[in-house]
Amino acid sequence: MNRMDKSLRTRAIKLPRADRSLETFQLSEPKHFPDRQTSKLNRVAFAAAHVVADPGADNDPWLDCAIDWDRTIAFREHLWGLGLGVAEAMDTAQRGMGVDWPTSLELIKRSVAAAKACNGLVFSGCGTDQLDPANARGVDDVIRAYEEQIEAIEAAGGRIVLMASRALAKVARSPDDYAKVYGRILQSVREPVIIHWLGDMFDPALAGYWGSADANSAMTTAVEIINEHAAKVDGVKISLLDKDKEIAMRRRLRQGVLMYTGDDFNYAELIAGDSQGYSHALLGIFDVIAPAASAALVRLAANDNDTFHDILAPTVPLSRHIFRSPTRFYKTGVVFMAYLNRHQDHFTLVGGQESARSTVHLADIFRLADKAGLLRDPDLALARMRTVLAARGIET
């Protein structure tokens, strides 16, 4: 038996299953994706990036937000090196779910400065999260909250992703209220923005956005607003986890307005597109699969669609598992993968959300990541998986 064969035989771990039994799982060899972008892409591709918590901070983790700024920015440099843009301070960064507006603004300032140093692409989330929805009296309060964040982000030299507003969802009484708010904001921004339609599976407080619980009626309102102000809209990120709705909306957008898929279930086929068009990408799962995503997009740009799908196909089951219902807890899986792949030295999230998924769920992430070839150092990943299991009372 040679040394490599022996190494492979020792890469085994007992992982928990839903029936409470333990399964012996044998790791496979990783796929060796490039660490740097190798050629230009023909899609604009953003990764919505997570933040690295500071577990050594003497704070109240459920109440306070402590960020490891060095590791957080280093991860963004990793994404830029792969040719991906960074969608900053959005829900993947636990925006409004542990990371407040002052911390988000500091994150945006640091990320914009780092992007300039390496010619990286970054757009930053702009919302109304400094306004407690319970204190919002009407749409004018929402407009003022948006304008405050726009001013701060533009002053930092940032481009804007206009995020959905919980306060607007609470106070709006009709589609006309959405038209008033978005019309006012889009007239005032310096550069075209990306508009984010985040579904209530990601954030239940956004139910009924665009003035209707019916997705088709909501889409009509959104499309009318976007097309009326197309000169101020770079594109739209739609996060409804419904490929048919995304395609339908994509075909209704005015020429020049891009569709950025936010569908973490069906991204491969939406990016590949069809005879009538395709989507660009702004995805939380690209945080997790960045090397594979970059390699696949390089092959797509070379018209090698088969290899594009060969690379991404095994990542889709992993993504669907990480983003399974309750979808808002997907950040736990994102950070777990960052820990397994040495992008941070601990499995800790802002707000203590490392506890938001079960041990069985994490074990399934490990299995699926291995199958997709995404555990870039299997021995390290194995050791870290054992550490997580031990912390949860499972000795392997």
Per the structure, the count of domains in the chain is 1
Give yes or no for residue 253 having a pLDDT over 90.
yes
Domain extent at residue 287: 37-302
Domain annotation covers residue 104? yes
Domain annotation covers residue 189? yes
Looking at residue 311, its pLDDT comes to 97
Give yes or no for residue 1 having a pLDDT over 70.
no
Q: What is the pTM of this model?
A: 0.94
d(CA 46, CA 43): 10
| Percent of all residues in the chain with a pLDDT value above 90, rounded to a whole number | 94
Domain annotation covers residue 136? yes
Average of per-residue pLDDT across 212-228: 97
| Percent of all residues in the chain with a pLDDT value above 70, rounded to a whole number | 98
Average of per-residue pLDDT across 92-118: 97
Average of per-residue pLDDT across 108-132: 97
Domain annotation covers residue 387? no
Average of per-residue pLDDT across 52-67: 93
Domain annotation covers residue 173? yes
Tell me whether the omega of the peptide bond preceding residue 326 falls within 30 degrees of 0, making it cis.
yes
CATH number at residue 222: 3.20.20.70
Please choose, from the candidates 367, 356, 352, the residue with its C-alpha nearest in 3D space to the C-alpha of residue 321: 367
Domain annotation covers residue 350? no
d(CA 309, CA 299): 9
Angle between helices 359-371 and 315-322 (to 10 degrees): 160
In which band, very low, low, confident or very high, does the pLDDT at 199 lie, cut at 50, 70 and 90?
very high
Domain annotation covers residue 328? no
Looking at residue 9, its pLDDT comes to 57
Average of per-residue pLDDT across 309-322: 98
Q: What is the DSSP string of 79-123?
A: HHHTT-EEEESSGGGTBTTTB-HHHHHHHHHHHHHHHHHHT--EE
d(CA 293, CA 289): 6
